[in-house]
Amino acid sequence: MVSAVPSFHITAIGELLIDFTPAGFSQRGDMLFARIAGGAPANVLAAASKLGCRTAFIGKVGQDSFGRFLKDTLEAAGIDAQGLVFSPYNTTLAFVTLDEHGDRSFSFYRKPGADMMLEFSDVDQSLVENCRILHFGSVSLTDEPSRSATLETVRLARSLGKTISYDPNYRPFLWPDTDEAVRWMKEGLSLADIVKMSEEELFLLTGSQEPEEGTKELAREGKALILVSLGAKGAFYRRGDTCGLLPTYDVKTIDTNGAGDAFFGAILSRLAELELSALAALSQKELEEILSYGNAAGSITTTRKGSIPALPTEEEIQRCRREIPLLR
């Protein structure tokens, strides 16, 4: 039986993995890597949890030291981990490299990884029944059985009247080809109410490189809110016919890993108490205030290394908004 007051603001389903991020060099010049918990759905939850939301995770990790570390990390972040399942397959690893601007790229070790092996029978449905928002991304759509498990869980959430948020997080090396990626990313998109994407993902899913034009199509399809993250240029948003571009904050960026998840998690934390009808009723000023809050969260995250360890507090977000100028 679904509780009258959901236990969780946000439940997420998807990948939970290890990011090995650059951590300097040894005395003899060997590159060093730091072990950091990663996976976009978990990052989004961690951001929202740090800002006061009750959150829960559904996914699969290996029966190895990495899997145990990830479970401990979820719990330390205040995320309910009862939906985390252990698998005999190894935990997925991702090695992150940064360019001179702090922008990241990934090399995955996932053939297969434990996160790919999630089945619908593994899913604790009470975590879906007892949430307001169900969040997912496209990385869990790359392979079976996690693809079917994810889509079936999202359909269950929709049937229960939950708000669905989606990040079509395109990682080309995880797909056999672009056509397959677009097919399944669009399948996820068809089930979503709130969507956050990059310029590249907007082009893949709409054929348009212009946020104003590309998001029109998505709004016509009934998306309640579309967000396009533009890096240093800020974020574009569309809610029906209302749209705009909000600048980000002028910070010293050293690592963009997790910034988009911090942005999205912060925004979802502000929307978590609202029904979709209430989202539609927000004034443009109220909506832009929420999105600027997300921009501040993403900006702060870029000033630190890692993803979950870099996430800001409420106090840090408010200080950023008061004291740091917008990037024009």
Amino acid code (one letter) for 165: S
pTM of the model: 0.94
Look at the block and give the residue holding tokens 């948020």: 165
pLDDT of res. 40: 96
Render pLDDT for 87-105 as a digit per residue (tens, 0 to 9).
999 999 999 877 766 566 7
Given a cut of 90, whether residue 138 has pLDDT beyond it is yes
Mean pLDDT (whole number) for 157-176: 96
Question: 234's torsion region: left (phi>0), alpha (psi -120 to 50) or beta?
Answer: left
Band (pLDDT 50/70/90 cuts) for residue 289 is very high
Q: Is the separation of the CB atoms in 9 and 39 below 8 Å? A: no
For the chain, give the mean pLDDT. Answer: 94
Given a cut of 90, whether residue 305 has pLDDT beyond it is no
Per cent of the chain over pLDDT 70 is: 97
Band (pLDDT 50/70/90 cuts) for residue 2 is very low
Q: Helices in the chain by DSSP H: which ranges? A: 40-50, 65-76, 126-129, 146-159, 178-189, 199-206, 211-220, 259-271, 276-281, 284-301, 314-323
Q: Is the separation of the CB atoms in 125 and 149 below 8 Å? A: no
pLDDT of res. 101: 67
Question: 327's torsion region: left (phi>0), alpha (psi -120 to 50) or beta?
Answer: beta
pLDDT of res. 152: 98
131-137 vs 8-13, strand pairing mode: parallel
Render pLDDT for 9-33 as a digit per residue (tens, 0 to 9).
999 999 999 989 888 899 999 989 9
**H-run or E-run covering 113:** none
Mean pLDDT (whole number) for 276-293: 96
163-167 vs 194-198, strand pairing mode: parallel
Amino acid code (one letter) for 27: Q
pLDDT of res. 77: 97
Given a cut of 60, whether residue 1 has pLDDT beyond it is no
Given a cut of 50, whether residue 47 has pLDDT beyond it is yes
Lowest mean pLDDT segment, chosen from 97-106, 149-158, 201-210, 281-290: 97-106
CA distance 175 to 106: 13
Torsion on CA atoms 274, 7, 167, 104, rounded to nearest 10? 120
pLDDT of res. 102: 59
Render pLDDT for 171-212 as a digit per residue (tens, 0 to 9).
999 999 999 999 999 999 999 999 999 999 999 999 999 999
Structure tokens, 26: 């040894």
Render pLDDT for 222-267 as a digit per residue (tens, 0 to 9).
999 999 999 889 999 999 999 999 999 999 998 888 999 999 999 9
